[in-house]
Structure 1
């Protein structure tokens, strides 16, 4: 596919050169027929016909040149980005530990979408990872047989039924106030554990930096 695309781009480059050459030739032809008309070498009617033909071809060629330039430029930028990404991969081909520096060099941004269903911890949540140079990359999906598709659909149906049941239970707990009681109780336990950690650090004489406070939170 890559080699085929490269061949197509080379054809477009050749076409671009030819189109630009023809555009310059049209400009010369239009000047010539104008001079011929002024010198009465051709009648006005003939000049109008030729001039309209050349102008129409000029407009068509100008649009084609613009499209070709955009296509070639886009291909060159994508090729350059791909080369930079491959170079980055080669640099970190062998490593023992994933560092923050490595993540920053590879990842441009991460977009975490809302859950499919709020209040449900088991609902799907889409996460998009945009890599530097190549953008959002999704792994190609494997081709499944008809039997495998049916099996997968059945599993997804069962999971959905279970999620629906859990969500309905959550809504009932929320309506009755039991969900808030649970959340308040959980927050109290979490706060208690946090205070216990602080006491341990104080007894040990370890200062609480802002970074440590964030960890405790």
Structure 2
């Protein structure tokens, strides 16, 4: 850059040529600065991710061998759990997507094993059969609901469930179990 400036001062190159070269150097300098900034950000991101991975590995090593899954362990591993809407409303067996975000690593999805073409076809056929079955069951439920049969069933079931609960309560009273403990047993 200095050399070009000196050549321009000594009139070895014309001013227009100097301006063209100067603009090229400035453009190149700006591009290099942007590239350096991008690389520095990438390095910082890499270092941050590496640090997070190391923390996660330390956490795994701490709980390498445990007999019982406690709320403390879950809280240390899990950042959040997202539960999405069911694919089909009103169905007990509808598919529902659940995402688990772990501390330090985020949403982890285990790698899926590669299936052969015939395995994929078989899986698609089974999924289609299951979808047709669910559609049929759902349509039957909607028909029962529309003609009032579902309400009758629920009322009968509710009466049976209440009777079971009362029978359990009688047995527990005879056994001398306190009322506060009865609630826990009845819920089961």
TM-score by length of 2: 0.79
**2:54 is aligned with 1:95:** no
- Report if aligned partners of 1:85, 1:133 keep a CA contact under 8 Å in 2: yes
- Partner SS, residue 79 of structure 2: strand
- Report if aligned partners of 1:33, 1:47 keep a CA contact under 8 Å in 2: no
Change (3 A) 1:71 1:181: farther
Change (3 A) 1:179 1:36: farther
Q: Write out aligned runs for 1:57-206 (5 A).
A: 57-183=28-154, 193=165, 204-206=177-179
Counterpart of 2:22? 51
- Partner SS, residue 127 of structure 1: strand
- Partner SS, residue 139 of structure 1: coil
Shift of 1:36: 4.4
Q: Give the paired residue count.
A: 181
RMSD, matched Cα: 3.2
Change (3 A) 1:59 1:187: farther
Shift of 1:51: 1.8
Gaps of 5+ in 2: none
- Cα-to-partner distance string for 1:18-60 (whole Å, 9 max, x where unaligned): xxxxxxxxxxx3xx479748x9334532431222011110221
Which stretch of structure 1 is more off in the superposition, 169-178 or 48-57? 169-178
